[in-house]
């Protein structure tokens, strides 16, 4: 029993460590969708008593580098298509959280054509270390641009939006959700237009991680018909990347929160379409796989999160202890019976010893034998055993009586004729 309890304590403290109270998440630059969604995550975590620390960054490329090299980082938003380690042992993905179109805004009337028409113009392509800059450079290079040109300005977010509206740049690239503040600002502005990209299927064939998206005519404004024609875009999705050793309960909580935050319909997604698994650049977390296949863990469906985690931890910790207790429970009754009987049988040992000496004639001190028999009987009278073993004590007293009678008979025979007893 003591071993089972010790095993339970050991397993409870090591096999399923306690839920962490602090988790770190790399977001992105100010004015980006990563920051917006991370704020929603933070509020949901705070409601469960867990501190979600948000760390601003330049974007996906920096996020991937930092989560690989900094053990203090637990989570990061990363643009799908950037990670390419399907057999990674230190990082896992929790799935794609939301779509990220490639928005190309400019100041001219709705234009359609090839990117080559932007040659010679100043273009905002996103900050260094961002997924926007990486995709912009890939697309521009495939379109024949000199990506070393000083016409490509490394700015993004609100800065890129301001420069576009002031005329400092002719076009600005954003890889972001439609809910990103900077994107939303430009979509609502009548001074900016979206570039209707030709050859989107050709780009998709060349860059397999990209999707072809369409923004239908009049989506932004049905009265003024903005946009005035269907706009063809390229897009990807935002992955949530985690360290492989992240606590399973945190993974489950994240995905439940993500389902609430990202599950509604939007410009480029149907209700319930996200989160989902859309990229194989990183292995899928085992906990995430179970979540997508069967939903949240059973206990978390019906109990408060913290209580479900505690009970789950107890159950997992009890299993090894039960594996030890089951055989112990089978041998415990015989051991218990032996322990109880041993309290009585030790007096049988002395009784047999006295009887042997008496019968062999080596001990003729009848008074001494009777005194020792009295001691055995007194011990039997005051012996404390469970009621189920009381018959053993009564049997011992009968046997003591039998030996005493033999000793008394021998004592009477040994007295001279006429002597008083």
Q: How much is the pLDDT for 26?
A: 97
Q: At which of 259, 276, 296 does a domain end? A: 296
Rounded to the nearest 5°, which phi and psi values hold at 268? -125, 25
Whether residues 287 and 357 fall in one domain: no
pLDDT at residue 365 is higher than 90: no
Whether residues 352 and 271 fall in one domain: no
* Range from 229-238, 292-301, 304-313, 361-370 that averages highest in pLDDT: 229-238
Q: How many domains does the chain have?
A: 2
Mean pLDDT over 231-259 rounds to 95
Report pTM: 0.71
Beta bridge partners of 124: 153, 172
Query: Tens digit of pLDDT for each residue in 274-293?
Result: 999 999 999 999 999 999 99
Whether residues 117 and 246 fall in one domain: yes
Cβ atoms < 10 Å from Cβ of 74:
23
133: domain CATH number is 3.40.190.10
| Residue 335 is assigned to a structural domain of this protein | no
Q: Name which residue leads in pLDDT, 77 or 399.
A: 77
**272-291 burial, b if ≥16 CB within 10 A, otherwise e?**
ebbbeebbebbbbbebbebb
DSSP string computed for 236-299: EEEEEEEETTS-HHHHHHHHHHHHHHH-S-BTTB-TT--SB----SSPBPHHHHHHHHH-S-HH
Q: What is the mean pLDDT of the chain?
A: 85
Question: Could you list the residue range(s) of the whole structural domain that residue 256 is in?
Answer: 2-296
Whether residues 33 and 106 fall in one domain: yes
| Residue 307 is assigned to a structural domain of this protein | no
Q: How much is the pLDDT for 280?
A: 92
Whether residues 291 and 380 fall in one domain: no
DSSP structural state of residue 226: B
Beta bridge partners of 172: 105, 124
Whether residues 193 and 74 fall in one domain: yes
Mean pLDDT over 103-117 rounds to 78
The vertex-182 CA angle with 124 and 242, nearest 5°, equals 95
Query: Tens digit of pLDDT for each residue in 387-397?
Result: 777 777 778 77
Bridging pattern class, strands 211-215 and 51-55: unpaired
Q: How much is the pLDDT for 320?
A: 67
Whether residues 196 and 261 fall in one domain: yes
Query: Tens digit of pLDDT for each residue in 127-137?
Result: 999 999 999 99
- Structural tokens at position 406: 């033999």
| Residue 258 is assigned to a structural domain of this protein | yes
Position 11 confidence tier, pLDDT thresholds 50, 70, 90: very low
Whether residues 398 and 281 fall in one domain: no
Q: How much is the pLDDT for 29?
A: 85
Query: Tens digit of pLDDT for each residue in 193-224?
Result: 899 999 999 999 999 999 999 999 999 889 88
| Residue 331 is assigned to a structural domain of this protein | no
Q: How much is the pLDDT for 332?
A: 73
| Residue 385 is assigned to a structural domain of this protein | yes
Whether residues 290 and 356 fall in one domain: no
| Residue 321 is assigned to a structural domain of this protein | no
Q: How much is the pLDDT for 12?
A: 45
Cα distances (Å, whole numbers) of residue 276 to 1, 76, 324, 366: 47, 17, 41, 94
Q: How much is the pLDDT for 347?
A: 75
Position 421 confidence tier, pLDDT thresholds 50, 70, 90: low
Q: Which of 29-33, 181-185, 216-220, 386-390 has the lowest mean pLDDT?
A: 386-390
Whether residues 126 and 238 fall in one domain: yes
Whether residues 274 and 386 fall in one domain: no
| Residue 218 is assigned to a structural domain of this protein | yes
* Percent of the chain topping pLDDT 70: 86
Cβ atoms < 10 Å from Cβ of 248:
18
Q: Name which residue leads in pLDDT, 296 or 235.
A: 235
Mean pLDDT over 152-156 rounds to 95
Whether residues 191 and 274 fall in one domain: yes
Q: Which of 31-40, 147-156, 189-198 has the lowest mean pLDDT?
A: 189-198
pLDDT at residue 140 is higher than 70: yes
Position 5 confidence tier, pLDDT thresholds 50, 70, 90: very low
Q: How far is CA 150 from the centre of its chain?
A: 46
Q: How much is the pLDDT for 4?
A: 44
| Residue 266 is assigned to a structural domain of this protein | yes
């Amino acid at each position: 029993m003591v071993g089972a309890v010790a095993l339970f304590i050991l397993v409870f403290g090591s096999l399923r460590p306690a839920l962490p109270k602090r988790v770190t998440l790399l977001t992105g630059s100010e004015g980006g969708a990563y920051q917006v969604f991370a704020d929603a995550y933070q509020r949901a975590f705070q409601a469960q008593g867990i501190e979600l620390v948000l760390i601003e960054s330049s974007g996906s490329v920096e996020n991937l580098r930092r989560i690989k090299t900094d053990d203090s980082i637990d989570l990061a938003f990363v643009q799908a298509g950037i990670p390419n380690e399907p057999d990674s042992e230190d990082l896992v993905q929790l799935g794609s959280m939301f779509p990220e179109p490639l928005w190309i805004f400019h100041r001219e009337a709705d234009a359609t054509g090839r990117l080559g028409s932007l040659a010679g113009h100043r273009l905002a392509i996103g900050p260094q270390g961002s997924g926007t800059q990486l995709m912009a450079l890939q697309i521009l290079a495939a379109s024949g641009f000199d990506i070393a040109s000083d016409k490509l300005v490394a700015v993004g977010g609100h800065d890129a939006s301001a420069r576009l509206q002031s005329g400092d740049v002719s076009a600005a690239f954003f890889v972001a959700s439609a809910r990103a503040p900077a994107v939303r600002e430009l979509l609502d502005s009548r001074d900016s237009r979206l570039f209707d990209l030709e050859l989107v299927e050709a780009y998709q064939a060349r860059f397999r991680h990209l999707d072809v998206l369409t923004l239908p005519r009049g989506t932004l404004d049905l009265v003024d018909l903005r946009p005035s024609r269907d706009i063809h875009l390229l897009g990807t999705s935002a992955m949530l990347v985690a360290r492989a050793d992240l606590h399973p309960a945190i993974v489950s909580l994240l995905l439940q929160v993500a389902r609430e935050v990202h599950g509604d319909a939007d410009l480029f997604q149907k209700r319930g379409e996200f989160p989902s698994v859309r990229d194989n650049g990183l292995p899928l977390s085992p906990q995430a796989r179970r979540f997508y296949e069967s939903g949240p863990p059973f206990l978390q469906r019906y109990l408060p999160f913290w209580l479900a985690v505690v009970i789950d931890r107890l159950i997992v910790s009890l299993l090894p202890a039960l594996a030890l207790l089951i055989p112990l429970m089978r041998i415990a009754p015989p051991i218990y019976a032996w322990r109880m009987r041993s309290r009585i049988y030790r007096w049988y040992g002395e009784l047999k010893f006295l009887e042997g000496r008496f019968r062999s004639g080596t001990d003729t001190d009848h008074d001494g034998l009777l005194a020792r028999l009295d001691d055995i009987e007194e011990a039997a009278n005051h012996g404390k055993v469970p009621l189920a073993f009381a018959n053993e004590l009564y049997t011992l007293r009968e046997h003591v009586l039998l030996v005493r009678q033999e000793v008394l008979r021998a004592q009477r025979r040994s007295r001279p004729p006429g002597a008083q007893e």
